[in-house]
Amino acid sequence: MGEITYADFEKVEMRVGRIIKAEEFPKARKPAYKLVIDFGEHGVRRSSAQITKLYSCDELVGKLVIAVTNFPPRQIADFLSEVLVLGVPLSDESEVALIQPDREVPLGQRVF
């Protein structure tokens, strides 16, 4: 990847949210969950996330996550994914660890 400017980086809106609902997404091409995420005053948004190898639906509820919130929505099967939850691939791209704050922070807070 080439270098970007700080102005380029400022265009990416990343915010902290809390997962309030997680469920299986059997219609996705690759194993995924449907997530509902609360971004505080920025509203509740939905996301499809391929994080099934490292997390169960039960353990996801209540977790803080970081998501890109200014991408256009993307239709995935019968589900409209509105934000991109950020993660880091481990041994291969099928194992993804979530990126999250190391302490409680206000929902909707912008990441910089």
pLDDT tens-place string over residues 27-83: 999 999 999 999 999 999 999 999 999 999 999 999 999 999 999 999 999 999 999
Task: Confirm or reject CATH 3.40.109.10 for domain 6-98, answering yes or no.
Answer: no
pLDDT digit string (tens) for 79-108? 999 999 999 999 877 799 999 999 999 999
Q: How far apart are CA 39 and CA 37, in angstroms?
A: 6
Boundaries of every domain in the chain: 6-98
109 burial class (0-12, 13-18, 19+ CB within 10 angstroms)? middle
- The answer to whether 81 touches 37, Cβ cutoff 8 Å, is no
